[in-house]
Amino acid sequence: MIKEERLLDMSDVGLGNLTEYRLLVLLGNYHSLCLVEGLDIMPDQIVDSSEKLLYPAYFTTHLKIPVTNLIENYTLWENIQVEVDVKRFGSNILDSAYSFNKKASKEELKESIEMTSNSLFVVDATIDKSVERTSSVPKSNCIAALEKSKVVPKALKLFKNIRNNGMLLEFEHIVECPSFEYKIVSNRDASNNHGVIFAKYIEIMDICEQEFLCSSGCLGLPLSIISCIHTIDRQTFYYSNCFADEVIEVKLKLAFEKCEERNLTGEKSELTPYRIIETHELFNKHTHNLVAIAKTTKIVCLSPKYTDLESDINRLVIKQRK
C-alpha cells in the first residue's frame, strides 16, 4: 500500500485544474509504484520467468466522485493525499483500490474520490515485436509482496457480462448520436509504437460527448455548458487497445434528467442541476474490435451567470423529447 501527501504540480495539472484524465494518470502512476514497493527495481523492470517484460493492463476502472468534492476543484499547488492498495487475485490479476482527497483537518475533510480497478499482467510487445502480447506471471523477486485476495473481483464477472450484453440505459428518452470517429495521433495521443494509455479513452469519450452536445448538427447547446459538466461516476471496461494512426469509432447514447435535489455541490447559488447518464462504446474502425465500453453519470451544475443555459437545455433537450 502507498499512502502519500504531496502538491499537485504542473506535471499533474498544467497551469489549470485537475481533469479526469489527469487524475487517472496520477492514480495509474501510484498503482505502478505499488507493484515494486520495497524492491530495488522500477515498474518497467517487472519480468516473467523467461525475462519478458510485463506491464499491468487495465481491464476495468470504476471512478466515484462525490458531488461535494469535484475533480475540477483541484488546482495547481493544491496539497493532496493519495492512497493506493493493490491485492493479487491468483498470480496475475490485480485488484486495486484508490482514494484521493485534499489534505485537510479532520473537520474540514470532504468525502474522498474513490476508484477501483482490475488489471492483468501482460507481456510488453512494444520493444520486442517477436513476442506475443499474452498474459504472464511476474517472477517472484520482481513483484512486491502484495496481499492475496481469495474473492473473485466483482468487476471480473461484470466485465464478461457487459461484453455479452452491453451496457443498458434504462430511461424513457434516450438520445442516440451518430457515431463519431477519433484518429489516434502519433506522439499526441500515443507514443510511437506504444498503445494508448487507458486514461486517454476517457478523454476521447469526453471529446465525443462535447461534440455531440455542442455541435450544430447534434444538440447544438452553447459551448459554455462544457465547464458546467462534472463526472460523478464512470465505470469503464477495456477490451483491447489501439495504436497511433488507428481510428476509433465511438457510439454514444445519453439521457438527460432534471435532478430533484438542489445545491448538490453545496454552492448555495446553484440553480437546479441536471444529470446526464451516458454509455460509450469504442471500436477500432479498421479491425472492428471492441476497445472499451463505459457507463458515466455526470451532473450539470449551473451557476446564476449561466441562467440562459437552463432555458437552452429545456428547449433543446427536455422539451424536444416530448
Partner 1 sequence: MNNTFEVVKNCVEEVLSMNGAEEVEIRFDSKIVHDLGMKSLDIAQLIALLEIQYEKDPFSEGATLANVITIADLCKLYE
Binding site for partner 1 (CB under 8 A): 48-50, 59, 89-93, 120, 122, 134-137, 140, 148, 150, 152, 156-157, 159-161, 164
Give the nearer residue to partner 1 in terms of CB position, either 41 or 156: 156
* CA gap 10, 307 in Å, rounded: 33
Give the nearer residue to partner 1 in terms of CB position, either 75 or 161: 161
Give the nearer residue to partner 1 in terms of CB position, either 122 or 197: 122
Is 225:213 a contact under the CB 8 Å cutoff?
A: yes
285-317 burial code (b ≥16 CB/10 A, e <16)? beeeebbbbbbbebbbbbeeebeebbebbeebb
* CA gap 71, 69 in Å, rounded: 7
CB of 31 to partner 1, least distance (A): 17
Give the nearer residue to partner 1 in terms of CB position, either 36 or 317: 36
CB of 165 to partner 1, least distance (A): 8
CB of 271 to partner 1, least distance (A): 45
Q: State phi, psi for 59 to the nearest 5 degrees.
A: -120, -15
CB of 92 to partner 1, least distance (A): 5
CA dihedral (320, 234, 113, 224) in degrees, to 10, reads: -40
Give the nearer residue to partner 1 in terms of CB position, either 157 or 183: 157
Give the nearer residue to partner 1 in terms of CB position, either 23 or 94: 94
* CA gap 111, 103 in Å, rounded: 12
CB of 148 to partner 1, least distance (A): 8
CB of 159 to partner 1, least distance (A): 8
- In this structure, are strands 247-258 and 175-176 parallel, antiparallel, or unpaired? antiparallel
Sign of CA dihedral 155, 160, 163, 169: negative
* CA gap 36, 100 in Å, rounded: 21
